[in-house]
């Protein structure tokens, strides 16, 4: 019965385009990849013949690429093309302080990070398991000036008052736009769930509003078609906050929203799966101050290691017992908020020596002094935990494919002992594949 109601609602919404929507459900899902411009150049990729309209570094692809060497290196992120639309509308600048409130699995967070230089990203996810996936993708894509938090939005709002230049709320929703991908979205569809989602979305937006700087930009997005979660949420938010203005998304793709609102909708007929995006601007006023921590001074052992490995060292440090973290912006004081990671986990000081982490060798803009390039075959061996018979300088070394690090090892001059974490190694029947 619920499915019948869903399709009846869609028919009412789409009218003459309803048949085209129904036809789209039988077509394959749109596949895409977004190139990480902090790690790679567009001309490094072959067969990118179908650029996405939603984002200049996004492309349509027609095959799985999870074991492509450049994916392992963090040079691209597998992302349905229209999923990049919200961040494109957010229009992140290199010095922005940005909050991504519902961030897992990390597609939008890593897209935001790719635009930052002197800026900073707080990437939050309330679900603990999904937050770990988010962290893993943040690390693979080599993000440096970032904090990954695992908390509720209300707790985050208690720490940050009018601090962020840009906020993305890619809100949990009923997922109508994902019906083609996940049967559960249709099987569990109900009006009651839509109403629950809408209530939760309004609550999240309230907390986002409190954390947004005067003059800042907030983008609200969903992957559902339901008016109750899209246009109605926007109207309720505008009614409550007179200092928030709905502004032009300034894009040509997709289509205008319903109820005469200048928002953006994407249907499968528009070249992507279902998305809704609204862009708000807060009126100028008095901004809050981001609470920051005093930078720690690193010991001589850590400093010696970093100078041996990097041409340019991080500017700020945080030390937790033996663990050392680094960033190029000041560390933020999150008080009692659960932080999974802030900055790059560089490594540990153990018995007067420095043991680097895997994440240290994945950073997009670290300039490594010690690195070795391997062939595709050698990369496959290394990703399976094998020792490489390869001459190079003694000590820790970044192991690279075509200049892109994907891990590290320790060399005795003749061979490189494998330091790829076991959880990141390929399974026996899985292989690095460039085709």
pLDDT tens digits along 139-163: 999 999 999 999 999 999 999 999 9
**Domain-embedded: residue 289:** no
Number of domains in the chain: 2
Residue 67 shares a structural domain with residue 184: yes
Residue 139 shares a structural domain with residue 57: yes
- Residue range 23-33: average pLDDT? 91
The helix/strand/coil state of 89 is helix
Residue 249 shares a structural domain with residue 211: yes
Domain residue limits at 357: 300-424
- For position 184, what pLDDT does the model report? 61
**Domain-embedded: residue 262:** yes
**Domain-embedded: residue 429:** no
73 as an active site residue: the answer is no
pTM score of the predicted model: 0.96
Cα 37 to Cα 34: distance, rounded to the nearest angstrom: 9
- For position 129, what pLDDT does the model report? 97
Q: Quick: pLDDT tens for 330-385.
A: 999 999 999 999 999 999 999 889 999 999 999 999 999 999 999 999 999 999 99
Residue 76 shares a structural domain with residue 185: yes
Number of residues written out for the chain: 435
Residue 116 shares a structural domain with residue 165: yes
Upper half-sphere CA count for residue 172 (Cβ side, 13 Å): 18
Residue 339 shares a structural domain with residue 212: no
**DSSP string computed for 190-224:** -HHHHHHHHHHHHHHHHHHHHHEEEEEEEEEEES-
CATH code of the domain covering residue 132: 3.40.50.150
pLDDT at 419 over 80: yes
- The chain-wide mean pLDDT, for the chain, equals 95
**Domain-embedded: residue 16:** yes
The pair phi, psi for residue 252, each rounded to 5°, is -105, -20
Residue 240 shares a structural domain with residue 149: yes
Of 181, 183, 243, the C-alpha closest to 210 is 243
- For position 295, what pLDDT does the model report? 87
Which of 48-57, 161-170, 207-216 is predicted with the least confidence, judged by mean pLDDT?
48-57
**Domain-embedded: residue 372:** yes
Among 282, 313, 334, the domain-final residue is 282
Cα 387 to Cα 384: distance, rounded to the nearest angstrom: 9
**Domain-embedded: residue 179:** yes
Inter-helix orientation angle 191-211/231-240, to 10°: 40
- For position 270, what pLDDT does the model report? 95
Q: Quick: pLDDT tens for 174-221.
A: 999 888 766 666 778 899 999 999 999 999 999 999 999 999 999 999
Active-site residue, from 55, 173, 197, 223: 223
Residue 271 shares a structural domain with residue 361: no
**Domain-embedded: residue 191:** yes
Residue 364 shares a structural domain with residue 249: no
Residue 263 shares a structural domain with residue 353: no
**Domain-embedded: residue 293:** no
- CA 356 to mean position of chain CA atoms: 24
Tokens for 180, please give them.
């083609």
Residue 258 shares a structural domain with residue 317: no
Residue 326 shares a structural domain with residue 411: yes
The pair phi, psi for residue 220, each rounded to 5°, is -110, 130
């Amino acid at each position: 019965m619920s499915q019948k109601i869903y399709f009846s609602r869609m028919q009412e919404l789409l009218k003459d385009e309803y048949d085209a929507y129904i036809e789209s459900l039988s077509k394959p899902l749109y596949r895409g990849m977004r190139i990480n411009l902090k790690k790679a150049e567009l001309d490094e990729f072959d067969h990118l013949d179908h650029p996405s309209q939603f984002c200049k570094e996004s492309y349509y692809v027609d095959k799985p690429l999870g074991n492509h060497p450049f994916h392992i290196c963090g040079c691209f992120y597998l992302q349905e093309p229209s999923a990049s639309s919200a961040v494109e509308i957010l229009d992140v600048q290199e010095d922005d302080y940005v909050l991504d409130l519902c961030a897992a699995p990390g597609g939008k967070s890593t897209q935001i990070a790719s635009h930052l230089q002197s800026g900073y990203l707080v990437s939050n996810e309330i679900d603990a398991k999904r937050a770990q996936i988010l962290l893993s993708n943040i690390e693979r894509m080599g993000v440096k000036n970032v904090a990954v938090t695992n908390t509720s939005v209300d707790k985050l709002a208690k720490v940050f008052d009018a601090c962020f230049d840009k906020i993305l709320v890619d809100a949990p929703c009923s997922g109508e736009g994902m019906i083609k991908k996940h049967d559960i979205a249709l099987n569990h569809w109900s009006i009651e769930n839509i109403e629950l989602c809408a209530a939760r979305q309004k609550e999240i937006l309230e907390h986002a509003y409190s954390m947004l700087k005067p003059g800042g930009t907030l983008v609200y997005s969903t992957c559902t078609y339901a008016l109750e979660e899209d246009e109605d949420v926007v109207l309720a938010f505008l009614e409550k906050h007179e200092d928030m203005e709905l502004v032009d998304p300034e894009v040509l793709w997709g289509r205008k929203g319903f109820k005469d609102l200048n928002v953006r909708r994407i249907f499968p007929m528009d070249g992507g799966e279902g998305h809704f995006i609204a862009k708000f601007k807060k009126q100028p006023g008095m901004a809050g101050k981001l609470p920051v921590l005093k930078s720690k001074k690193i010991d001589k052992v850590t400093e010696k290691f970093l100078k041996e490995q990097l041409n340019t060292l991080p500017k700020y440090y945080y030390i937790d017992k033996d663990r050392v973290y680094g960033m190029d912006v000041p560390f933020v004081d999150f008080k009692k908020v659960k932080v999974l990671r802030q900055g790059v986990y560089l490594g540990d000081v153990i018995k007067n020596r420095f043991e680097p982490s895997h994440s240290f060798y994945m950073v997009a803009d670290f300039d490594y002094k010690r690195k070795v390039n391997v062939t595709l075959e050698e990369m496959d061996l290394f990703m399976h935990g094998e020792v490489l018979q390869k001459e190079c300088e003694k000590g820790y070394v970044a192991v690279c494919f075509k200049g892109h690090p994907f891990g590290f090892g320790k060399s005795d001059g003749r061979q490189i002992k494998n330091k790829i974490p076991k959880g990141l190694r390929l399974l026996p029947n899985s292989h690095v594949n460039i085709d």
